[in-house]
């Protein structure tokens, strides 16, 4: 029979959970969801929902909702205990996989719907008759397409933990951004618009 146990967190673990909760806003994740994940991530053993509720001071409803979201995101695993209705939860420990899954979920929730909306708008008859609006939507669609392509490149690389390839891509993109920034500065100052280029990373 499973018995609850009171866990003791170190000051560093408590601080990490607090920081992770604050970072959640930038990721589009609720603080409770982030703190649940952080507690499961920093604690070496699986924990049950009651322990999470007690340690984080959240309601049972909040714990249930956010545990379900974390399972949907693939950031935690559920362990069903035999001969009891209780379950334990543990976090995915692979930080590269965690990053890939967070990016993927943000991508699915935010970028994909925008792409679909733009595709719908650009097919409208009134938009196609309005050259300015059509041009603006086409530009937005191109930018979103670039973002989608960047994510599609990044996700498999993160999942395979190919650190050297990631560093090469970042360095190449940094050179391109620096080159283009210098070119724009030169144009603004009336300078030469011609510049050599780096290949687009793949």
Same domain? 86 vs 103: no
Q: What is the pLDDT of residues 68-108, one digit of tens each?
A: 999 998 889 999 988 888 899 999 888 778 878 888 888 88
User: Are 118 and 155 contained in the same domain?
Assistant: yes
Range of the domain at 79: 11-92
* 111 and 151, same domain (yes or no): yes
Look at residue 53 and tell me whether its pLDDT is greater than 80.
yes
Domain boundary among 27, 61, 92: 92
Task: From 74, 53, 80, 56, select the one nearest 64 (Cα to Cα).
Answer: 53
Residues of the chain with pLDDT > 70: what percent?
80
Percentage of the residues of the chain whose pLDDT score is greater than 90: 28
The pLDDT confidence band at residue 109, using thresholds 50, 70 and 90, is: confident
- Is 178 in the same domain as 126? yes
Task: Give the separation between CA 4 and CA 40, rounded to whole angstroms.
Answer: 16
Determine contact, residues 81/72, Cβ cutoff 8 Å. no
Shared domain check, 149 and 122: yes
Q: Tell me: the pLDDT tens digits for 56-65?
A: 999 999 999 9
- Is residue 36 domain-resident? yes
Q: Are residues 71 and 21 in the same domain?
A: yes
**Whether residue 102 sits in one domain with residue 88:** no
pLDDT band at 26 (very low <50, low <70, confident <90, very high): low
Does 48 lie in the same domain as 106?
A: no
Q: Indicate the number of domains in the chain.
A: 2
Q: Closest by alpha carbon to 43, among 57, 56, 30, 31?
A: 56
Residues 46 and 121 placed together within one structural domain of the fold? no
What is the mean pLDDT of the segment spanning 103-119?
86
Q: What is the pTM of this model?
A: 0.65
2 falls within a domain: no
- Please say which residue of 92, 119, 146 terminates a domain: 92
117 and 73 both lie in a single domain: no
Domain boundary among 57, 92, 127: 92
134 membership: H or E segment, kind and range: helix 131-160
Work out the pLDDT band at 162, boundaries 50, 70, 90. low
Top-confidence residue, 84 or 116: 116
CA dist., res. 105 & res. 28, Å (int): 10
State how far the Cα of 156 lies from the Cα of 152, in Å rounded to an integer.
7
For residue 33, being part of any structural domain is answered with yes
Strand order in the sheet with 76-80: 47-48, 87-91, 76-80
């Amino acid at each position: 029979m499973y018995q609850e146990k009171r866990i003791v967190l170190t000051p560093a673990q408590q601080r990490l959970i607090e920081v992770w909760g604050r970072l959640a806003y930038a990721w589009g994740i609720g603080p409770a969801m982030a703190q649940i994940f952080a507690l499961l991530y920093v604690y070496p053993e699986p924990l049950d929902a009651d322990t999470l509720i007690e340690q984080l001071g959240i309601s049972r409803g909040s714990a249930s909702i956010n545990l379900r979201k974390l399972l949907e995101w693939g950031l935690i695993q559920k362990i069903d205990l035999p001969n009891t209705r209780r379950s334990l939860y543990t976090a995915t420990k692979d930080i590269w996989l965690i990053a890939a899954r967070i990016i993927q979920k943000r991508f699915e929730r935010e970028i994909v719907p925008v792409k679909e909306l733009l595709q719908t708008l650009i097919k409208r008859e009134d938009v196609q008759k309005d050259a300015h609006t059509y041009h603006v939507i086409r530009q937005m669609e191109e930018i979103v397409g670039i973002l989608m392509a960047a994510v599609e490149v990044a996700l498999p690389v993160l999942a395979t933990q190919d650190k050297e390839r990631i560093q090469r891509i970042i360095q190449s993109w940094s050179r391109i951004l620096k080159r283009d920034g210098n070119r724009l500065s030169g144009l603004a100052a009336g300078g030469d618009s011609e510049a050599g280029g780096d290949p687009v990373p793949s």
